[in-house]
Amino acid sequence: MKLSTLLRTALLTLLALPAWTLDAVEKPTPEQLDFFEKKIRPVLAEHCYKCHAETAEKIRGGLVLDTREGIRRGGDNGPAVVPGDLQESLLIEAVQHTNKDFAMPPEKEGGKLSDAVIKDFEAWIQMGAPDPRDGTAKVVAKYDDAAARKWWSFQAIARPPVPTPKDAAWPKSDIDRFLLHALETKGLQPVADADRATLLRRVHFDLIGLPPTPQEIDTFLQDQAPDAFAKVVDRLLAAPQFGERWGRHWLDVARYAESSGKDVNVAFPHAWRYRDYVIGAFNADKPYDQFIEEQVAGDLLPAKDDLDKAQKLIATGFLALGPKGLNEQNPRQFALDVADEQIDTVSQAMLGLTVACARCHDHKFDPIPQREYYALAGIFLSTESRHGTAPGIQNRHASELLELPKSLALPVAVEPLTAERRAELEEQLDRLKDDLPPGLGGRAKPGVDSRPGGATGADQLKRLRAVGETGAIRTALKSYEADGTPKALAMGVQDRPAPSRSSSGLGFREQMRTRFGGGAGFPGMMTAFPTITDSPLFARGEVDKAGDKVPRGFPSVLSLSTPPPIPATGSGRRELAEWLVAPTNPLTARVMVNRAWHWLFGQGLVGSVDNFGTTGLQPSNPALLDHLAGGFVRDGWSVKRLLRDLVLSRAYQLSSAHDAKCFAADPGNTLLWRMSKRRLDAECVRDAMLAASGQLELTPPIASLIARAGDGPIGGPRLRGVSEEAIVHAGGKMRSVYLPVARDVVPDALAVFDFAETSLVTGARETTNVPSQALYLLNSTFVSMQAQGLADRVLTGHPGGPNAGMGANFDQRLASAYWLVFARAPDAVERQAAADFFRRFPANWKKGDTAPMGLRDASDVKAAWTSLCRALFASAEFRYLN
């Protein structure tokens, strides 16, 4: 947490330290470091270091920008950057060119930076100017490639022998033997096992994201068979709710969202099909290697029938649904940015590597040369991303969608199109031709200057509107069959055509006719890479500095055997998918088993779950990690088998009790001497309230709110698209995984409890405990409704008869509420506290009644129980797993 201004000033004065010193101690997050490396450092290096670095022949203005210390201390005119303060950051004034005396870069060096770059610098400073450059290092040293290649994660997965701990009676599995051996080496012992009710609540939330019902608790507590817990685990793994829980974990990793984000936040109405594919894959226990291959190259894999084909096409939505700058004017820049985002996602999600850091230069920390980045880029530049969205002036990069087999009659989000409505839309299209420029399908008018500069401001505005409306109508019409039946469409990718004489020379108008079947296109929709191709190496990542082409291929550090060759006529995605899951790949299995460990134990064996590179953390138990990774592959990449082994281990079944000796030796619990307490994530908090109130609907809905609203900007023009308010206040009784999720706009119930950042690979969500969460639980309409529902359930379940007051069946009602919310009975102290609460309830004060609980109005009884139930929902115990 940042120091207050007063405290900060006092400390600086007392210690006589420069202002940048206190900011420097704040450790940047991985996302912030990624932003700096991609958006800030390359610009500084290209435009500033010539005059403002230690290597400069003459340092101008006493200002050096190649270190964190230099950029914050500033030069002759003061600090160049003051974290969090744009007004005081002279760098912003310089790049904005508002002061010509020190406008930077100067005109002779290229002049003012682009608006997008300036906005990046503003965003960087507002987030606290995170800067990993060490204050004492003036020049970034070249990384030792040979040493980096010896990093643990780049080595082949070993098959370590299972150790024999001294306490042979304690372990239930080989997992326990590895963990206990590590504890004994430190002279430590694990704490006692969790009680059975606590364990049941834990495994229910971990495997299906819902609390156990009172009946399930009673059944388990009554079952004294040795395999009682194993039977619970098998039941949960077979439940359809398992896929909803574990599918949501993967959706975090896949940066799932239903809109483009960035400058023009356009809806992705068909993203929900990928969501449902992921849920179904986890429920079916689709082998993880197959799961990976389908998401990277499902369209290129053989299919056994139409349903299998549809699923594989939908799976490639993984590549298509990332954030996109749809208003980017330069087609080459757009294509490179999309490929970069896909490289970043694939490498982090599946390999735990930040390969995209090599876009502008050789990776500063991992042995990934810039050439190998562009070897991968060629694969994705040879791939067409079919994300959909209707074309328009602010959407310069609309695309088609994938059509799914008609034979399947798959569910759709929209109603059929009537003949009358089709006629209306076609008539409207015909009217719009009068406002469209002739080059875009409009009717030429004699004597009228159709050039952009020859029209009045009003005419230009009319044309802009006509282009947007025309794009929306055409997109809508293309989504229906001739008889008005909605087409089953999906986001995804497909290979671009192989290069040929007929395709390599296509110009803008030819591309438009090819793409839209002879109809008019829209400005800026030409692709820079129309065919399969190798990518040039772009110096410093700049689109106008293309060098020699780099043959498509894979990072050599992970190619422990000969990688598959990439055919000239294919993008290379299928070969990439095979390479990702090859038995010799040292990372894919390690990364996934570590993710599973993190989601069950609260922290991974490797704490940096998305970064297995040299800037990430080393595993706390390397032998156990390789034991799990090797077993995962040998067991057919079965996620359910992996999870079953983990939760049936004794380590998973430990209590969260404190042990002073263990805590002193291992305060972070990296050795697993106990189960760490964990806060429920946003979905579990919301779903648990619905479950306790008896209002949760387990039948999955079709599509989503955004899908039903259709194409258009999020919060865009009236009657087109969906409003931000509708998303923020999205309700319903379905599970939270089915709530609408747009980039930068998510429902309040998710946002307040640290929902995943939808534009980034998120293997580990942040977990905070802040006042806004308590305020939400106390003031939210949704929570109020669930508290009322729980009160109704408690009162109905234990009726007190006519005119029965608060005291009727008090113990039974209180016990029922506690079992539903906490999966346990109240203790004596809690029963007394509840009784005291009812005696002091405001209804008594209003009437001046100080008598014991007795006859009261029915409305007073319900209000009192509703207040108690809301207090239970607001408690820390409800939000945490022990």
User: In terms of pLDDT, which residue wins out, 759 or 143?
Assistant: 759
Vertex 714 angle, CA 730 and 33, to 5°: 95
CA–CA separation, 317 and 489 (whole Å): 11
Is the pLDDT at 803 greater than 70? The verdict is no
8 Å CB contact between 345 and 761: yes
Weakest-pLDDT range from 100-114, 628-642, 683-697:
100-114
Is the pLDDT at 139 greater than 70? The verdict is no
* Strand ranges (E), 544-689: 546-550, 678-679
- Give mean pLDDT, residues 695-705: 95
The whole-number pLDDT of residue 505 equals: 45
CA atoms within 13 A on the CB side of 24: 16
8 Å CB contact between 480 and 486: yes
CA–CA separation, 348 and 540 (whole Å): 22
The whole-number pLDDT of residue 798 equals: 85
What CA–CA distances, in Å, run from 230 to 117, 199, 234, 237, 722?
56, 12, 6, 11, 45
The whole-number pLDDT of residue 440 equals: 56
User: In terms of pLDDT, which residue wins out, 456 or 769?
Assistant: 769
Per-residue DSSP letter, 773: H
8 Å CB contact between 535 and 382: no
8 Å CB contact between 675 and 194: yes
Is the pLDDT at 58 greater than 80? The verdict is no
- Give mean pLDDT, residues 850-871: 73
Weakest-pLDDT range from 65-79, 247-261, 732-746, 747-761:
65-79
Antiparallel, parallel or unpaired: β 492-495 and 402-403: unpaired
| Consecutive H or E run containing 682 | helix 682-693
- Secondary structure of residue 385 in the 3-state scheme: strand
Is the pLDDT at 425 greater than 90? The verdict is no
- This prediction's pTM: 0.82
Q: What is the CA radius of gyration of the chain?
A: 30
Weakest-pLDDT range from 30-44, 330-344, 529-543:
30-44
CA–CA separation, 290 and 258 (whole Å): 25
| Consecutive H or E run containing 45 | helix 41-47
Is the pLDDT at 325 greater than 70? The verdict is yes
Is the pLDDT at 398 greater than 80? The verdict is yes
Residue 802, classified by CB atoms within 10 Å of its CB into exposed (0-12), middle (13-18) or buried (19+), is exposed
443 pLDDT band, cuts 50/70/90, is low
Is the pLDDT at 847 greater than 80? The verdict is no
Residue 96 CB: number of other CB atoms within 10 A? 17
CA–CA separation, 94 and 441 (whole Å): 45
Which residues partner with 489 through β-bridges?
Answer: 403
Is the pLDDT at 364 greater than 90? The verdict is no
Contacts of 517 (CB under 8 A, 6+ apart): none
Q: Indicate the average pLDDT of the chain.
A: 86
Is the pLDDT at 142 greater than 50? The verdict is no
Vertex 152 angle, CA 150 and 156, to 5°: 90
Vertex 363 angle, CA 362 and 369, to 5°: 45
What backbone phi and psi angles, to 5 degrees, belong to 45?
-65, -40
Structure tokens at 164: 């024999």
Closest CA to 347 of 361, 366, 331: 366
The whole-number pLDDT of residue 49 equals: 83
CA–CA separation, 499 and 190 (whole Å): 63
Structure tokens at 766: 């942040």
Amino acid at the residue 682: A
The pLDDT > 90 percentage for the chain reads 59
What backbone phi and psi angles, to 5 degrees, belong to 809?
50, 35
Contacts of 624 (CB under 8 A, 6+ apart): 175, 178, 179, 182, 605
Domain ranges in the chain? 5-141, 196-238, 779-881
- Give mean pLDDT, residues 715-722: 69
Antiparallel, parallel or unpaired: β 880-881 and 402-403: unpaired
CA–CA separation, 546 and 531 (whole Å): 17
Per-residue DSSP letter, 164: -
Residue 305 CB: number of other CB atoms within 10 A? 10
8 Å CB contact between 437 and 521: no
Weakest-pLDDT range from 266-280, 422-436, 493-507, 534-548:
493-507
CA–CA separation, 839 and 296 (whole Å): 62
The whole-number pLDDT of residue 63 equals: 84
| Consecutive H or E run containing 118 | helix 115-126
User: In terms of pLDDT, which residue wins out, 188 or 76?
Assistant: 188
Weakest-pLDDT range from 70-74, 510-514, 691-695:
510-514
